[in-house]
C-alpha cells in the first residue's frame, strides 16, 4: 500500500481532479498535524472559491478507507491521519520480506545510463581533488542501478596530450628507469614539476615537448613505448586507491581510445558547415548562444578536449544507446561542457540537449593545505588521506573498544566511509571544508554515527538471538510516537532514492539516513527492546531488523560499508 497514493485517491474521488495532480501537491506536515496534508490553494483557480471553502467541500465528500483512519480541515489544508497498524505493517513487512531490495524500483526499465566519473590524469598523482568525482559518480551508479536502469561506469582517463610530451622530454633529460620503477607516480610527478621549473629558464623545452607529442601522434615506437609504460605504472597506483574505495568501472576508455575516430568527427563538423578558421585554429562560433568559440583544432592541427569529448559522446551513443550520459566533474568545467554539448546539437544530434548532463560539484577546501597544483608539486594524495583516515579511526577504536576483533578492517570501513559520507552530506554544488575532527566524529551528522547506529541495531539482534527477521508481529504494539517516526522515516527511503537519482544528488540519501538513525536512537531510548516480552518484544525486534536493513542499504547506495560491530 502506497499511503500517499491512497490519500491522493480519496481526494481525487471527492473532487474530480486527476490523481497525478493531487499527488504532486501532497505535503508531509509536522507529526502532530497528521501524516499527509493537501493544500487546497492550487485549486482556487479551478473552483473559483477560497481555499478554506474548497477544503471543507472536499472533506464533505471524502469516504475513508481502512488505511486512512481520519482527517481534519485546518484552514485551506486537509490533514490526513493513517491507520497506524496498517501503516506499520505495510512498511515493516515490506522491508523484512524484500530486504535491501525494498528501495528498488523498475523506473529505468533496463535502459542504459552512462556515467563518466573519476577520470584522473595518467602520470599525475591521484589526489584529494579527485575524491568528489569518484565517490559522487560511484553513488550515482548505485542509485541508478536501484532505479532499474543499466548503469555503465566509464573512467575517461587523461591519457593523451601535451603533458606526455613534457614527461618524455623530462625523462630523457633527467629521469632514470630504476627510479620510476621504484617510486612510481611520485617520480613521474617530480619529473613533471622539474620540467616546468626548467622551462621557465629554458623556453625551448616546450618546443621539444611538442615535438615528442607529435612523435606520439605519428606512432613513433620509442615515444609510444614510454607512453604505455607511464600508463601501466599509473594504473597500478590508481587501482590500489579504487580497491580501498571499493569502486570498479565498466570501461577504462581514456582520451587515447578515441584518437583514430577524431579525424572523421572533425570532417563531419566541417561537412555540417559550422567549422570556421580563427587565427589559424578551427573553431565553432557560439556567439549566438552567448558563449566563446569552441576550439576543435589547434593551429598545428592538434585536437583539443572538446574534439575528444564530442567523439567520445558519439561513440557512447552508438555503442551503448544511452538514455542519459552523465559527466561528473568540477563546476569550473561548466562552460566547457555547455560549449561542446551545443556543438553536438548544431551537428544535428538532437539527443544531446536532453541526454547529455553535466553533474557539477564544488571544490574540496583543504584550509592550510591551499590549492592543489601538480605543476608546482603541491598535492595531497588521495591514498594518504584514506590511510590517515583508517589510522585515526583505529586509534579511536583502541580508546573506545580495544577488544574489538578485526580492528584494522573495521577501521578501514569506518575511516574511509567517514570521508565518503562527509563528501556527500551536502548538495554536491557546495564546497567542502575538509576537517578531520568533524569527519571522524561518532556523534552528530556523520558517517561514523550512521555506521554506529547500524552496529547498535546488529548488536540488539545478536543479543536477542535472532537468526532471521521476526514474522507475523502485531504492529499495533509499535504505535507510539517514536516508533511511528522511525517507521515513517524507513518508509520514505525508496522515494528519496528516486529523488536522489532524478536530481543527481546523493546527499538526499545521506540526509534521510541521518533522519532514520536519529529516529532509531529515539525509538531505542523510549522503548525497551531486549527488556520487553512476548508480542511487544517481537514487534520491536521486527522494527529494529527493518531499521538495520534500511541503514545498510542506504550506506551501500553511498558507497559505504556497514560494519556489524564497532
The answer to whether residues 340 and 214 belong to one domain is: yes
Same domain, 396 and 538: yes
Is residue 307 situated within a structural domain?
no
State the CATH number of the domain containing residue 398: 1.10.730.10
Whether residue 446 is found in the same domain as residue 544: yes
Domain-embedded: residue 15: yes
Contact (Cβ atoms closer than 8 angstroms) between residue 87 and residue 4: no
Same domain, 405 and 443: yes
At 372 the pLDDT is 40
Tens of each residue's pLDDT in the chain, 566 residues = 789 999 999 999 999 999 999 998 999 898 789 999 999 998 998 899 999 999 999 999 999 998 999 999 999 999 999 999 999 999 999 999 999 999 999 999 999 999 999 999 998 888 888 999 999 999 999 999 999 999 999 999 999 888 899 999 999 999 999 999 999 998 998 999 999 999 999 999 999 999 998 899 889 999 999 999 999 999 999 999 999 999 999 999 999 999 999 999 999 999 999 999 999 999 999 999 999 999 999 888 878 899 999 999 999 999 999 999 999 999 999 999 999 999 999 999 999 999 999 999 998 877 554 444 444 445 688 898 899 999 999 999 999 999 999 999 999 999 999 999 999 999 999 998 878 888 888 888 999 999 999 999 999 999 999 989 999 999 999 999 999 999 999 999 999 999 999 999 999 999 999 999 999 999 999 999 999 999 999 999 999 999 999 999 999 999 999 999 99
Tell whether 32 is covered by a domain.
yes
Together in a domain, 208 and 348: yes
Are 387 and 336 contained in the same domain? no
Are 417 and 349 members of one domain? Answer: no
Residue 296 lies in a domain: no
- Comparing C-alpha atoms, which of 521, 543, 540, 518 is closest to residue 531? 540
Residue range of the domain that includes 35 = 3-82
- Which phi and psi angles does 425 have, rounded to 5°? -85, -25
Residue 365 and residue 230 share a domain: yes
pLDDT at position 367: 59
Count of all residues that appear for the chain in the document: 566
Distance of CA 507 to the CA centre of its chain: 8
Q: Is residue 427 part of a domain?
A: yes
Provide the pairing of β-strand 432-433 with 364-365: parallel
* 437 in any annotated domain: yes
The alpha carbon of residue 333 and the mean position of all alpha carbons in its chain are separated, in whole angstroms, by: 18
| Residue 241 belongs to some domain of the structure | yes
Q: So what's the pLDDT on residue 484?
A: 94
Q: Judge whether 511 lies within some domain.
A: yes
What is the C-alpha to C-alpha distance for residues 141 and 502, in angstroms, rounded to an integer?
A: 13
Taking the CB of residue 355, how many other CB atoms lie within 10 A of it?
A: 19
* Residue 123, pLDDT score: 87
The set of cell numbers assigned to 288 is 549566438
As annotated, the active-site residues are 124, 127, 130
For the chain, what is the domain count? Answer: 3
Grid cell digits, residue 459:
548488536
Among candidate residues 38, 60, 82, the one where a domain is terminated: 82
Give the 3-state secondary structure of residue 281: strand
Same-domain status, 252 and 121: yes
Q: Which three cell numbers stand for residue 562?
A: 556497514
Residues 398 and 355 in one domain: no
At 67, which CATH number?
A: 3.30.1360.70
Does 239 lie in the same domain as 208? Answer: yes
Question: Do residues 27 and 122 share a domain?
Answer: no
Interior CA angle at 6 toward 2 and 11, to 5°? 150
**SS3 sequence of 440-485:** CCCCCCCHHHHHHHHHHHHHHHHHCCCCCCCCCCCHHHHCCHHHHH
Residue 220: give its domain's CATH number.
3.40.50.620
Q: How far apart are CA 180 and CA 174, in angstroms?
A: 11
Neighbouring C-alpha atoms within 13 Å toward the C-beta of 17 = 20
Amino acid at each position: 500500500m502506497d499511503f500517499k497514493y491512497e490519500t491522493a485517491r480519496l481526494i481525487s474521488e471527492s473532487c474530480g481532479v486527476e490523481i497525478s495532480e493531487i499527488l504532486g501537491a501532497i505535503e508531509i506536515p509536522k507529526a502532530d498535524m497528521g501524516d499527509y496534508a493537501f493544500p487546497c490553494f492550487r485549486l482556487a483557480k479551478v473552483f473559483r472559491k477560497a481555499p478554506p471553502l474548497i477544503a471543507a467541500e472536499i472533506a464533505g465528500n471524502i469516504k475513508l478507507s481502512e488505511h486512512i483512519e481520519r482527517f481534519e480541515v485546518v484552514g485551506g489544508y486537509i490533514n490526513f491521519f493513517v491507520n497506524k497498524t496498517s501503516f506499520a505493517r505495510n512498511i515493516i513487512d515490506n522491508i523484512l520480506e524484500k530486504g535491501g531490495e525494498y528501495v528498488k524500483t523498475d523506473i529505468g526499465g533496463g535502459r542504459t545510463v552512462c556515467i563518466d566519473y573519476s577520470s584522473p590524469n595518467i602520470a599525475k598523482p591521484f589526489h584529494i581533488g579527485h575524491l568528489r568525482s569518484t565517490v559522487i559518480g560511484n553513488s550515482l551508479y548505485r542509485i541508478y542501478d536501484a532505479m532499474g536502469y543499466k548503469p555503465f561506469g566509464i573512467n575517461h582517463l587523461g591519457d593523451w596530450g601535451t603533458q606526455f610530451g613534457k614527461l618524455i622530454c623530462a625523462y630523457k633529460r633527467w629521469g632514470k628507469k630504476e627510479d620510476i620503477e621504484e617510486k612510481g607516480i611520485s617520480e613521474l610527478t617530480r619529473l613533471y614539476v622539474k620540467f616546468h621549473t626548467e622551462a621557465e629558464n629554458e623556453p625551448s623545452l616546450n618546443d621539444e615537448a611538442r615535438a615528442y607529442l607529435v612523435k606520439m601522434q605519428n606512432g613513433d615506437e620509442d615515444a609510444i613505448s614510454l607512453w604505455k609504460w607511464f600508463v601501466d605504472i599509473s594504473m597500478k597506483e590508481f587501482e590500489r586507491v579504487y580497491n580501498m574505495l571499493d569502486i570498479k568501472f565498466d570501461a577504462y576508455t581514456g582520451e587515447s581510445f578515441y584518437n583514430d575516430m577524431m579525424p572523421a568527427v572533425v570532417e563531419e563538423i566541417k561537412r555540417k558547415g559550422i567549422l570556421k578558421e580563427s587565427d589559424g585554429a578551427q573553431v565553432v562560433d557560439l556567439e549566438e548562444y552567448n558563449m566563446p568559440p569552441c576550439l576543435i583544432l589547434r593551429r598545428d592541427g592538434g585536437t583539443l578536449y572538446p574534439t575528444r569529448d564530442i567523439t567520445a559522446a558519439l561513440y557512447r551513443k552508438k555503442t551503448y544507446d544511452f538514455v542519459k550520459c552523465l559527466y561528473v566533474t568540477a563546476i569550473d568545467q561548466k562552460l566547457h561542457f555547455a560549449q561542446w554539448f551545443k556543438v553536438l546539437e548544431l551537428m544535428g544530434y538532437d539527443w544531446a540537449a536532453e541526454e547529455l548532463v553535466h553533474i557539477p560539484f564544488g571544490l574540496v577546501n583543504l584550509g592550510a593545505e591551499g590549492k592543489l597544483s601538480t605543476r608546482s608539486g603541491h598535492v595531497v594524495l588521495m591514498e594518504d588521506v584514506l590511510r590517515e583516515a583508517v589510522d585515526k579511526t583505529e586509534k579511536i577504536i583502541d580508546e573506545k573498544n580495544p577488544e574489538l576483533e578485526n580492528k584494522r578492517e573495521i577501521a578501514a570501513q569506518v575511516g574511509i566511509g567517514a570521508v565518503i559520507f562527509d563528501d556527500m552530506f551536502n548538495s554536491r554544488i557546495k564546497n567542502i571544508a575538509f576537517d578531520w575532527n568533524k569527519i571522524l566524529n561518532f556523534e552528530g551528522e556523520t558517517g561514523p554515527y550512521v555506521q554506529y547506529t547500524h552496529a547498535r541495531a546488529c548488536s540488539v539482534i545478536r543479543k536477542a538471538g535472532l537468526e532471521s527477521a521476526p514474522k507475523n508481529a502485531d504492529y499495533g504494539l509499535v504505535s507510539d510516537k517514536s516508533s511511528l517516526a522511525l517507521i515513517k522515516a524507513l518508509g520514505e527511503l525508496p522515494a528519496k532514492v528516486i529523488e536522489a537519482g532524478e536530481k543527481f544528488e546523493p546527499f538526499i540519501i545521506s540526509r534521510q539516513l541521518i533522519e532514520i538513525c536519529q529516529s532509531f536512537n529515539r525509538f531505542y531510548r523510549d522503548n525497551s527492546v531486549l527488556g520487553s516480552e512476548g508480542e511487544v518484544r517481537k514487534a520491536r525486534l521486527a522494527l529494529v531488523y527493518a531499521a538495520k536493513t534500511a541503514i545498510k542499504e542506504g550506506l551501500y547506495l553511498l558507497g559505504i560499508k556497514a560494519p556489524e560491530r564497532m
